[in-house]
Amino acid sequence: MRTFKIGGVHPHDNKIYSAHQSITECPLPQKAIIPLVQHIGAPAQAIVEKGQKVKVGELIAKAGGFVSANVHSPVSGTVNKIDTTIDAWGMKMPAVFIDVEGDEWMEGIDRSADVIHECTLEPKEIVDKIAAAGIVGLGGACFPTQVKLLPPPGKTAEVLIVNGVECEPYLTCDHQLILEHGEEIVVGIQILMKALGINRAIIGIENNKPDAIARMKELTAKVLGVEVMPLRLKYPQGGEKQLIDACIGRQVPSGALPIEVGAVVDNVATIYAVYEAVQKNMPLISRVMTVTGKHVAKPGNYKVRFGTPLTEVVAMAGGVPEDTGKIIGGGPMMGRAMNNIDMPANKRVSGLLFLPEDECRRVEPENCIRCGKCVAACPMGLEPYLLSRQAELKMWDEMEQHNVMDCIECGCCLFTCPSHRPLLDYVRMGKATVGGIIRNRQAAAKAAAEAKK
């Protein structure tokens, strides 16, 4: 059975707590806070003002550039203010505050459960509709989806790789989405194939989800060009470059994007959102997220309108367990500990994990014993022990030379280190610093070039 070739680890998947829990819709909040930064790239620019009435699905902020995404109102009511809000990690971001009044939707949005199979739009019309709906990657990266569908000059897509892996421990929202909305996902795949002008798609699913594999095989049995590929269980198989390697055996070069090897990768939740946008005129205003943990009273998969305070989602799951030591936004490998859960749900939040106190204590780090386990585990072929030491010593130039920007922050190095060294912490810090240096250098070069004109 296929998997990627370089590195990887095998953490326990811990999916039993929320697996096969039907998707439950959360009630509307009384007040919604909709961040304007829910994607990679430039923040969206608000186009509403205080006192304005808005409906569900109405555009409230336009994309702020080529790599950006529209933001729509997930509720109906009155705009209270346009201000800043604080996310779960203490960062300020612009947001639209709406007092919720009923649930009045924009005309033209099809809310029925009927599945529409035929898409008569031309490729450009599909891409434009996806852009208008504000769709971004819901697997974690939040990269604006329309950008992926517009390959740069000289690059051509050959295959669409559908990410149904969900390799992150504890999370089950994508699995449940496949089981409940597999038919719509298959239509979404065909829509994206049409937009890209390709005739091949591969759906990658890890073999710990046999029911999802069976469901997608059943639905694609008569769909030309679409293959379901069971994959061996290994983390981080859901990473774009790892999934490409596992499915088609191609290695994406350092610093390059998947299109370099003819691949476009989209998560199943993203593809479901594409279906809803193209076939139902539904903008991206909600998502399914997992709330889970060993002692959570009602772990499950919850469909949440953006802007809903996470405290209200947690209340649906029975509240915060008494022995909680950390609340993780996302899963335990790539997620980050949250300072608070007062922040609103948004396109970035795929799950909330409540870890018991006895499972989240950090062990005192010891000296590196040069065992090489972090090197063997790194799926990007990096040397985490070296990069972390360079970060400690602020050797930014050396970190860039050793390809720190290729790090996907998967946590394999930290997971496998017998000396409990905070490898990921240092590498993540160094990557952020080096990234800033590179951006400043590029901006200076651009300014100098323009000054010569």
**What per-residue confidence (pLDDT) applies to 87?**
82
Residue count of the chain, please give it. Answer: 453
Architecture of domain 286-359: Roll (3.10)
Distance set, CA 288 to CA 37, 110, 402, 427 (Å) = 19, 19, 38, 31
CATH class for the region spanning 111-280: alpha beta
Reading the chain (453 residues) residue by residue, the pLDDT tens digits are: 899 999 999 999 999 999 999 999 999 999 999 999 999 888 999 999 999 999 999 999 999 988 899 999 999 999 999 999 988 777 889 999 999 999 999 999 999 999 999 999 999 999 999 999 999 999 877 899 999 999 989 999 999 999 999 999 999 999 999 999 999 999 999 999 999 999 999 999 999 999 999 999 999 999 999 999 999 999 999 999 999 999 999 999 998 999 999 999 999 999 999 999 999 999 999 999 999 999 999 999 999 999 999 999 999 999 999 999 999 999 999 999 998 888 999 998 999 999 999 988 888 999 999 999 999 999 999 999 999 999 999 999 999 999 999 999 999 999 999 999 999 999 999 999 999 999 999 999 988 888 887
| CA 332 to chain CA mean position, Å | 15
Question: Which of 204, 202, 263 has its CA nearest to residue 227?
Answer: 202
How many CB atoms lie under 10 A from the CB of residue 356? 15
| Encoded amino acid at 437, one letter | I
Tell me, what DSSP letter sits at residue 433? Answer: H
**What per-residue confidence (pLDDT) applies to 339?**
86
CA distance 159 to 137: 17
CA distance 327 to 191: 37
Correct CATH for 29-100 of 3.30.429, 3.40.50, 2.40.360, 2.40.50: 2.40.50
Q: How do the domains of the chain map onto residue ranges?
A: 29-100, 111-280, 286-359, 373-452
In terms of phi and psi (left: phi > 0; alpha: psi -120 to 50; beta: otherwise), the region of 314 is: alpha
**What per-residue confidence (pLDDT) applies to 305?**
97
**What per-residue confidence (pLDDT) applies to 20?**
95
Q: Which residues pair with 303 in a beta bridge?
A: 25, 288
Q: Please answer whether residues 48 and 359 qualify as being in contact, where contact means their C-beta atoms are separated by less than 8 angstroms.
A: no
CA distance 166 to 162: 11
Element housing 98 (H / E): strand 92-100
**What per-residue confidence (pLDDT) applies to 288?**
97
